[in-house]
A and B are shown apart, each in its own frame.
Chain A
C-alpha cells in the first residue's frame, strides 16, 4: 500500500527517534548512507516497540523500504552494495530539530562555498545586465539562492558551535571530574572534542568570515562585495544593496564565533597543559625504565641506577637524607648527644633483660634431626650410594632422576635430582671421567609440571 509523502513525513517526524538513530549511525561512521541491515533493524525495533496494533501496522506500511523509495524519502537503494541513502534535505530537516545532531561546516565545505561564489562572480562578469536577458536572470536567481543558502548555513553553523561550546563548558567546568575515574576519562575525551571543534570548525569559519586572510585566493566576503559592486556599476543598485545586506548578515556571525573561540581557548590551554604533562611523565618513565633494564646484567655491581642518572636531572638536588639530618642535630650545640643516647639504650636494654625471663633451650631442640629437608637429603644420599650406577653413564641427570623417582615415589620432587647428582659426584667424581655437553636447546626433564633444564653430563671409567 502506497502512503503519500506528506503522511510518511508526518509519521517520521512523529517518530523522530528512527531518523535520529540512523543519523547517529551515519555520523559515527562518517558516511552519507546506511547499510540496509541497519535500516531494517532500526525500523523493526521501532515497530515492535509500538504497542497499539493499528499504529504498528500504519508505521509498517509507511516505513516500508518500497514506500520510502517511492515517496523519495530514500533517494538511493543499492541492492548490490546493500545500502540506502536518504534525501539530504530530509536528513537536514531532522538535524535542525536537534542542535546536537547538527553538523558543523568543515574546511572543505567552506572552500566549496568560496568556489561557488568565485564561479558566480566569473559567470556575471561577461553578462549583459538586462532584465530581458534570460542568462542574466538565471545567474541572478542562482546568486540569490546561493547567498540565502550561505547565510542559512553560516547561521546554523554558529548556532551549532554555540551549542557545542555550552555543552562542553557545562561538563568541563564541573569539579567532579577529579573525583572518579569514569568522569576523569569523560573530561579528557571532552578536551579532545574541544580541540577538534576548535581546529576543524572554529578556525575555518573565522578564516571564512575574515575579509583579509585568504592569501592565495580572494576571501569569500570580498567576492560577495565584488559581485555587489558589479551590480551597482551596471545600474542594479537595489540588487547591489540586497547583496550587501547578505554580506553583513553573514559577517554578523563573526563576533559570535570569536566569542566561542575565546571560551574554548581556556580549555584548549588546559588540554595542552595536560598533553604536555602526560608526555613529560611518559618520557621520564621510559627513561627510568630504560635505565632499569640496563642493570639487568650479570654484573652485580650495576644493580642500581643511581650512578647512571645525570646529577643535572636531579630536581631536589642536595635534599638532606634523614640520617644526615639526625647527625647534624645530634652534634648541635657542641654536645655529642649520641653518647647520651647510647647510654640510655644500654640502660634500657639491661632493664628489659632483667625484667623478662630468658627462654630455656635445650640441645635436642637445636638439633636439626627433625628438619624434613635434612631427612630427605640423607635418604637421597643413601639411595644414590646404594644404586647400581656404573660407567659408562650417558646422562647422569636422567639416570639419577629415574633412580630417585622409583625409590621415593610420591615423595619425589624434581629438585632432588640436583642433590642426587651432587652426592654421586662427591663419591665417584675423582675416579670417573666427566664430560659436559653443551647443546642448544638444553636437555629437559619434566616432572609434575616442573621442568629442569641442564647440560648433559657423561661419565666414563
Chain B
C-alpha cells in the first residue's frame, strides 16, 4: 500500500532530478541507515511504476540500489547527465591519481577532502575537461559538486566534511568497471 506522505515527498524529489538511494547518511550519528523512501518504492514497485507511467515518466531502478525518473518520450537533454558523469570521472581520477584507495570515495567514514579537489583543479587537464562540459566556468568545484551531485544525492558530505559517493554515485563507477571488464 502506497504511503501518501512518502509518495508526495518522493514525487517532489524525483521530479526535481534527485535520486532515491537505498541507504541515507545521518551526519549527526555518522552512520548509514536504510532509506524509508527507497523501501517505500521498492516494496510497492509495481504501483509506483504504474503511477509514474500514467504521468509519462519511467521509474528507473539500478544496481546496487537507487531510483530515478526519466521522461517516457525521451525529451530530456543529455547535457545535465554528461556534466554529472564528467564531474564523477574527474573526481574518481583525482582520488586514484593521488594514491588513495578508491574505497575512500565510497566509505562513508572516509571521503575525499575539498582541498584535494581544489589542488587538482589547478591542473589544466582537469579544467579542460570540465570547461568543455560547461563546468567550473565562473563557479568553483565546490559549487559544481553541490549543484550537480549533492543536490541530486549522488554524493553527500560526511561528518568530517569530506565528499562521499552515495549508492547512485557508486553505481556509476561499478557500471564503468563492468563495462571495462566486458570490453576487455
Chain B 159-178 residues near chain A, CB threshold 8 A: 168, 171-173, 175-177
| Residues on B with beta carbons closer than 8 Å to the beta carbon of A283 | 180
Check: B12 CB closer than 8 A to any chain A CB.
yes
B76 near A318 with CB under 8 A, answer yes
CB-CB under 8 A for A281 and B89, given A293-B128, A306-B133, A320-B76:
yes
| Residues on A with beta carbons closer than 8 Å to the beta carbon of B176 | 277, 280-281, 284, 315
B89 near A285 with CB under 8 A, answer yes
Check: A70 CB closer than 8 A to any chain B CB.
no
| Residues on B with beta carbons closer than 8 Å to the beta carbon of A276 | 177, 180-181
* B65 vs chain A, min Cβ distance (A): 15
The residue from B68, B104, B107, B129 contacting A319, defined by CB atoms under 8 A apart: B68
B103 near A315 with CB under 8 A, answer no
* A94 vs chain B, min Cβ distance (A): 34
The residue from B85, B128, B133, B151 contacting A315, defined by CB atoms under 8 A apart: B85
- What separation, in Å, do the CA atoms of A349 and B69 have in the docked complex? 36
CB-CB under 8 A for A315 and B15, given A178-B103, A289-B125:
no
Chain A 271-330 residues near chain B, CB threshold 8 A: 273-274, 276-285, 288-289, 291-293, 295-296, 303-306, 309, 311, 314-322, 324-326, 328-329
A319 near B99 with CB under 8 A, answer no
Check: A167 CB closer than 8 A to any chain B CB.
no
CB-CB under 8 A for A188 and B99, given A281-B92, A282-B93:
yes
| Residues on A with beta carbons closer than 8 Å to the beta carbon of B15 | 320, 325, 328-329
Query: Interface SS of chain B: helix, strand, loop or mixed?
Result: helix
Q: A11-52: contact bitstring with B at CB < 8 Å (1 yes, 0 no)?
A: 000000000000000000000000000000000000000000
* A285 vs chain B, min Cβ distance (A): 4
A306-B79, A317-B70 given; 6 more Cβ-contact pairs under 8 Å: A179-B109, A181-B98, A280-B173, A285-B89, A320-B71, A321-B77
Which 4 pairs between the two chains have the least Cβ-Cβ distance? A318-B70, A280-B180, A325-B16, A178-B110
Chain B residues with CB under 8 Å of chain A are 12, 14-17, 19, 58, 60, 68-71, 74, 76-82, 84-86, 89-90, 92-93, 96, 98-104, 107, 109-110, 125, 128-129, 131-134, 151-152, 168, 171-173, 175-177, 179-181
Chain A residues with CB under 8 Å of chain B are 175, 177-179, 181, 184-185, 187-188, 273-274, 276-285, 288-289, 291-293, 295-296, 303-306, 309, 311, 314-322, 324-326, 328-329
